[in-house]
Amino acid sequence: MRRWKYTANASFYGLRRDRFTQYQPEASVKEKLERIIATPGITGVELKYPFDFEDPKTVKSILSDSGLQVSAVNVDIKDSNYFRFGALSASDKAARDKAVELLTAGMDLAAEFGTEVVSTCPLADGYDYPFQLDFTDAWGFFVETVGRVCRHRDDVTLALEYQPHEPHAHILLNNVGKMLYVCSEVGLPNLGANLDIGHSFAALESPAESAALLASKERLNYMHASDNTGDGGDWDMLSGSVHFWHWVELLLTMDKVGYDGWIGADLMAKFSTAQTFYSTNIRLIDGMIALLDSVGTKEMHRLIAANGSTPQLYKVFADRLNDLTTLPG
């Protein structure tokens, strides 16, 4: 099994709250970076534009001193001051122009800070009720606007992150199929996906299948590691804490398709620090990789390819797990 580099989303090292409770206080970008540097296993950081770039000189100095790499620039395009009625798909051209302005600025910063990835989750683009959107116009604007962004420069990839719900009941870009549709319609090589595993579960997908589909079209560019209950909510839980076997399957698939990008994470630290959640998440993923190593990828693929061998495959896993402990009775 190959190994991947781990990166942390700086936003999750500062203010964390939902509509009921605040879990973590606000933090400066300096404080967030210091916490990320102190997190075992983390070698990269995903910075949010514009919030983490208010003092770029300080950010560059901390990155230089620590050796921390910028894995991606994550651009926020859901500010209600501009995007109350959509961003990429807005009928108001001024809103679409503002989204382009923010995303292209993020692309320029990505190049300046040494990364080839800009990520955004277009959560302002969605609807709650029938008749709220003209879908023909909305999707036309969406594709057109994404194309404008990608044409800004070809040395940085725009990695769109799909999510089924929140803040709207229905987000336009809500599954892997629509992600691939947008890539096909735009038709530019520097457009791809930031596959958020928790969002994939929320969309009732198999993330392994989604990764395989994206990779088949060379559109798997970045990844956010987490887990979800699969009921549509986005709970940003520890990887494998709910869908353990789906996560193991995903890692095997990532290895097979040759994914060589970063593994980031969106993790909600409700009752401990972000450092604890992120370092634990890495240990969980490394543990699942170790389980696959104990079986061997060649043997895994042989068993998967053999019709009717699923019980035998799980028996191999059971044998490996039983080697770790003596079960009661």
pLDDT tens track, the chain, 329 positions: 999 999 999 999 998 888 889 888 889 999 999 999 999 999 999 999 999 999 999 999 999 999 999 999 999 999 888 999 999 999 999 999 999 999 999 999 999 999 999 999 999 999 999 999 999 999 999 999 999 999 999 999 999 999 999 999 999 999 999 999 999 999 999 999 999 999 999 999 999 999 999 999 999 999 999 999 988 888 999 999 999 999 999 999 999 999 999 999 999 999 899 999 999 999 999 999 999 999 999 999 999 999 889 999 999 999 999 987 655 55
Same domain, 149 and 222: yes
Tell me the C-alpha distance between 212 and 192, whole Å.
13
Same domain, 308 and 288: no
Residue 1 forms part of a structural domain: no
Q: What is the predicted pLDDT for the residue at 326? A: 57
Report if pTM > 0.85.
yes
Residue 219 forms part of a structural domain: yes
Q: What is the predicted pLDDT for the residue at 277? A: 97
User: Which SS3 state, helix, strand or coil, does residue 281 take?
Assistant: helix
Long-range CB pairs of 292-295 (<8 Å, 24+ gap) are 292/1, 292/248, 292/251, 292/252, 292/255, 293/1, 294/320, 295/320
Same domain, 123 and 155: yes
Same domain, 291 and 308: no
Residue 11 forms part of a structural domain: yes
Residue 314 forms part of a structural domain: yes
Residue 21 forms part of a structural domain: yes
Q: Which residues, other chains included, contact 317 with Cβ-Cβ below 8 Å and sequence gap of 6+?
A: 291, 295
Same domain, 163 and 179: yes
Q: For the chain, where are the E strands, in sequence order?
A: 6-9, 16-17, 22-24, 42-49, 69-75, 117-120, 126-127, 157-160, 170-171, 191-196, 220-225, 264-265
Same domain, 67 and 93: yes
Same domain, 13 and 138: yes
Based on the structure, what is the number of domains in the chain?
A: 2
* Domain interval for residue 320: 296-329
Same domain, 206 and 314: no
- Closest to 195 (Cα-Cα) out of 152, 224, 153, 165: 224
Q: At what angle do helices 274-295 and 310-322 cross, to 10 degrees?
A: 120
Tell me the C-alpha distance between 48 and 53, whole Å.
8
**What would the DSSP string read from start to end of 148-160?**
HHHTT-TTSEEEE
Same domain, 156 and 206: yes
Same domain, 132 and 259: yes
Same domain, 78 and 10: yes
Residue 190 forms part of a structural domain: yes
CATH of residue 27? 3.20.20.150
Tell me the C-alpha distance between 139 and 193, whole Å.
17
Same domain, 315 and 291: no
Q: For 149-275, where are the E strands, in sequence order?
A: 157-160, 170-171, 191-196, 220-225, 264-265
Tell me the C-alpha distance between 187 and 179, whole Å.
12
Residue 313 forms part of a structural domain: yes
Burial degree of 271 (CB within 10 A; 0-12, 13-18, 19+): exposed
Residue 290 forms part of a structural domain: yes
